[in-house]
């Protein structure tokens, strides 16, 4: 799979953190926490649409 | 959990896993893919187990408790139509609404001209599969979701809210179901996670079968590029649902990507090159894949033999199980092969005879799991399922 072209939107991601963080004011503390929670919940959106396609 | 139940579970897990590694367990494991049969056995209708997943869970656990089975799928009536109705999904025939209450749910493929993806939309899918699914595909397959640019609506908003909450609710309930199977009857949950091939999913849910086979001739480069674009996503979904203990395989549901639905050349040039790397990558992560070879995939056994030893478990539906064993039996565990028509219309004696024939032919060195050919629906006779189970327990001892 290494030779596959990298997708525009990575697997597991709907709205990348890099895109979201630009909308936020300065994060004063614990940026990693904010990023992790964003990515965890964003991943649920990914699960939703791909499970709609594959399982339902 | 009672100690004897713990022990029973451990014995069954060991038996099932040993066979799946193509080795010889103490006995032939029994892992029937029981779907609507569970409803019939538990006294429910297809409508009840399809539309209320708790009833489906109860029916599966009742079967698990009453039959001496090593493993089952936690809910083989996998489409919960309560969820699909909340989303507004158009492509299901729902028992009790679109089809009689005692008929299993149906998948309705739209006519070619109404396919959920148009022939000129490959580039959009290739560029951004996730965006395509949300923005283009979902509004077409849902009666409630508005297309991009359309005025939004109350029903649109509710589709996402209810659909998302219902899906979480359903998936979370599987944790409890698997625990109850283990503690109530010592039954192993047979698979974990889902995989479909990029090629199949284009036919199933995007272009339709007729659209895809037309595209293979009119825009083959686009088809291949679309398969390649789907690959990392299908791999990701498969791995994210895989068994963290690496005991049970990822379920891989194989549909129409084989001869005679497509030519050997198209299999070799489209389906297999975009599927094989996914299987190999999953195996590199330490997970097996269960090939549910629906129909007959006998034309492609040599291709499957290219995969690493033990990487897959190969389930035989309408293929020739003896030929399958001859070609790939030294590399992979095989399951299934007991014809569904026999379970539906035959006698217990005929079922026992057929089980003996299969066991004698393919199970001598281990690496075989007893099951029907296809998923077992409500046409199967209870006495025949019992015959398959009891005979295997009596005769299938190493």
The CATH number assigned to the domain holding B291 equals: 3.20.20.210
Residue A4 to residue B87, Cβ atoms within 8 A:
no
Distant-in-sequence, close-in-space partners of B235: CB < 8 Å, separation ≥ 6: A1, A11, B278, B281, B282
Residue A5, pLDDT > 80, answer no
Q: Containing domain of residue A50, as a range?
A: 17-54
Nearest to B355 by CA among B19, B28, B11, B24: B28
Contact B79 A56 (CB under 8 A): yes
What's the gap in Å between the CA of A29 and the closest CA on chain B?
A: 30
Contacts of B143 in chain A (CB under 8 A): none
Cβ distance A50 to B281 less than 8 Å, yes or no, reads: no
Residue pair B135/B148 in contact by the 8 Å Cβ criterion: yes
Amino acid A4: pLDDT: 60
Of B168, B237, B281, the CB nearest to A50: B237
Q: Which two tokens stand for residue B343?
A: 């379970």
Q: Number of structural domains, chain B?
A: 1
The shortest CB-CB distance from A56 to any of B83, B134, B281 is to B83
What 3-state class would DSSP assign to B294?
Answer: coil
Cβ distance A52 to B278 less than 8 Å, yes or no, reads no
Whether residue A22 is contained in a domain is answered as yes
User: What's the distance, Cα to Cα, between the start and end of chain A in Å?
Assistant: 27
What is the number of structural domains in chain A? 1
A2 near B CB under 8 A? no
The distance of B238 to chain A (nearest Cα, Å) reads: 10
Look at residue B2 in the predicted model and tell me its pLDDT: 78
Q: In chain B, what are the helix, strand and coil shares in percent, each to the nearest 5?
A: 55, 10, 35
Q: Are B373 and B338 in contact (CB under 8 A)?
A: yes
Contact B164 A13 (CB under 8 A): no
Report the chain A residue with the minimal C-alpha distance to residue B84: A56
CB B359 within 8 A of CB B368: yes
Decide: helix, strand or coil at residue A5: coil
Residue A12 in contact with partner chain B when CB distance is under 8 A:
yes
On chain B, the residues whose CB falls within 8 A of the CB of A8 are 127-128, 131
Which of residues 251 through 290 in chain B touch A, CB cutoff 8 A?
A: 277-278, 280-281
C-alpha B385/C-alpha B107 separation (Å) is 26
In B206-309, DSSP assigns E strands to 250-254, 289-293
Handedness of CA B223, B229, B233, B236 (dihedral sign): positive
Residue B60 to residue B64: CA distance in whole angstroms: 6
B115 phi and psi angles, rounded to 5 deg: -55, 150
Task: Give start and end residues of each alpha helix (H) in B21-151.
Answer: 37-42, 46-51, 53-66, 81-87, 122-127, 129-132, 138-141
Answer whether residue A46 is part of any domain: yes
Query: d(Cα B304, Cα B260) in Å, to the nearest integer?
Result: 17
Residue A8 lies inside a defined structural domain of this protein: no
Residue B254 to residues B43, B197, B298, Cα–Cα distance (Å): 30, 7, 13
d(CA B311, CA B304): 10
Quote the pLDDT of residue B1: 73
Of B79, B141, B231, the CB nearest to A1: B231
What is the percent of chain A where pLDDT is above 90? 79
User: Which conformational region is residue B193 in: left (phi greater than 0), alpha (psi within -120 to 50 degrees), or beta?
Assistant: left
Distances, alpha carbon A20 to alpha carbons A28, A38, B17, in Å: 16, 9, 44
Question: Cβ(B34)–Cβ(B370) under 8 Å?
Answer: no
Residue A1 has pLDDT above 70, yes or no: no
Give the three-class secondary structure for B95: strand
Using the predicted structure, report yes or no on whether residue A2 has a pLDDT greater than 60: no
B280 vs A contacts (CB less than 8 Å): 1
Asked whether residue A1 is assigned to any structural domain, the reply reads no
What pLDDT does residue A3 have?
A: 58
B128 touches chain A (CB under 8 A): yes
Please indicate, yes or no, if residue A28 is contained in any of the structural domains: yes
Q: Is the distance from CB of B173 to CB of B183 less than 8 angstroms?
A: no
Within an 8 Å CB–CB cutoff, is residue A53 touching chain B?
yes
> C-alpha B189: how far from its chain's center?
13
Query: Taking the CA atoms of chain A, what radius of gyration do you get in angstroms?
Result: 14
Is residue A3 assigned to a domain?
no
Strand B92-93 with B106-107, pairing: antiparallel
Question: What value of ipTM does the predicted structure carry?
Answer: 0.96
Residue A27 lies in a domain: yes
- CB contact (8 A) between residue A50 and residue B229: no
Contact B277 A4 (CB under 8 A): yes
CB contact under 8 A, A5 and B228: yes
| Record: contact B196-A7, CB cut-off 8 A | no
**Chain B: closest CA distance from residue A23 (Å):** 20
Average pLDDT, 10 consecutive residues per value, chain B (398 residues): 90 98 98 98 98 98 97 96 95 96 95 97 98 98 97 97 97 98 98 98 97 98 98 98 98 97 98 98 98 98 98 98 98 98 98 98 97 98 98 98
Domain of B261? 3-395
Distance CA B366, CA B25 (A): 7
Contact yes or no for A8 and B234 at CB 8 A? no
Question: Which residue of chain B comes nearest to A8, CA vs CA?
Answer: B128
**Which chain B residues touch A50 with a CB distance below 8 Å?**
130, 133, 233, 237
pLDDT of residue B179: 98
- pLDDT value, residue B280: 98
pLDDT at B3: 75
Residue indicated by tokens 């489209």: B270
Chain-chain contact of B133 with A48 (C-beta, under 8 angstroms): no
Nearby residues of B262 by Cβ (< 8 Å), 6 or more positions away? B213, B216, B256, B270, B271
Contacts with B86 (C-beta within 8 Å, 6 or more apart), sequence order: B159, B162, B163, B166
Q: B126 and chain A: CB distance < 8 Å anywhere?
A: no
| Cis amide linkage into residue B260, ω under 30° from 0 | yes
For residue A8, name the pLDDT band (cuts at 50, 70, 90): confident
């Amino acid at each position: 799979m290494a030779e596959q072209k990298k997708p525009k939107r990575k697997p597991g991601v709907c709205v990348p953190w890099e895109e979201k963080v630009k909308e936020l004011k300065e994060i004063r503390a614990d940026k990693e926490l904010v990023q992790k929670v964003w990515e965890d919940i964003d991943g649920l959106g990914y699960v939703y649409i791909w499970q709609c396609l594959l399982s339902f | 959990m009672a100690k004897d139940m713990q022990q029973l579970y451990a014995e069954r897990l060991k038996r099932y896993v040993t066979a799946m590694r193509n080795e010889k367990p103490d006995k032939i494991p029994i892992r029937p893919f029981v779907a609507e049969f569970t409803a019939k056995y538990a006294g429910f209708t297809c409508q009840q187990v399809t539309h209320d997943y708790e009833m489906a869970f109860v029916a599966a656990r009742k079967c698990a408790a009453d039959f001496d089975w090593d493993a089952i799928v936690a809910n083989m009536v996998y489409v919960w139509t309560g969820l699909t109705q909340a989303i507004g999904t158009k492509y299901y025939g729902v028992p009790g609404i679109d089809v009689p209450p005692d008929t299993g749910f149906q998948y309705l493929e739209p006519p070619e001209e109404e396919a959920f993806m148009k022939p000129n939309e490959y580039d959009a899918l290739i560029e951004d599969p996730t965006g395509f699914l949300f923005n283009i595909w979902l509004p077409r397959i849902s009666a409630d979701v508005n297309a991009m640019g359309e005025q939004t609506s109350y029903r649109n908003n509710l589709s996402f809210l209810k659909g998302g909450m219902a899906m979480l609710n359903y998936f979370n309930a599987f944790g409890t179901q698997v625990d109850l199977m283990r503690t109530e009857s010592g039954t192993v949950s047979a698979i974990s996670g889902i995989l479909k091939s990029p090629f199949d999913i284009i036919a199933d849910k995007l272009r339709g079968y007729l659209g895809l086979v037309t595209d293979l001739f009119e825009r083959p480069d686009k088809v291949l590029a679309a398969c390649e674009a789907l690959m990392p996503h299908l791999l990701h979904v498969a791995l994210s649902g895989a068994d963290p203990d690496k005991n049970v395989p990822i379920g891989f549901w194989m549909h129409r990507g084989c001869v005679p639905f497509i030519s050997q050349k198209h299999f070799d040039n489209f389906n297999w090159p975009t599927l094989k790397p996914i299987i190999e990558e999953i195996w590199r992560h330490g997970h097996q894949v269960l090939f549910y070879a629906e129909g007959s995939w006998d034309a492609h056994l040599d291709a499957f033999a290219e995969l690493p030893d033990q990487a897959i478990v190969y389930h035989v539906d309408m293929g020739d199980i003896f030929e399958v064993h001859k070609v790939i039996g030294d590399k992979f565990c095989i399951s299934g092969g007991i014809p569904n028509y026999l379970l539906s219309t035959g006698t217990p004696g005929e079922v026992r005879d057929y089980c003996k024939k299969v066991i004698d032919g393919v199970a001598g060195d281990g690496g075989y799991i007893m099951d029907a050919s296809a998923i077992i629906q409500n046409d199967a006779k209870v006495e025949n399922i019992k015959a398959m189970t009891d005979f295997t327990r009596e005769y299938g001892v190493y």
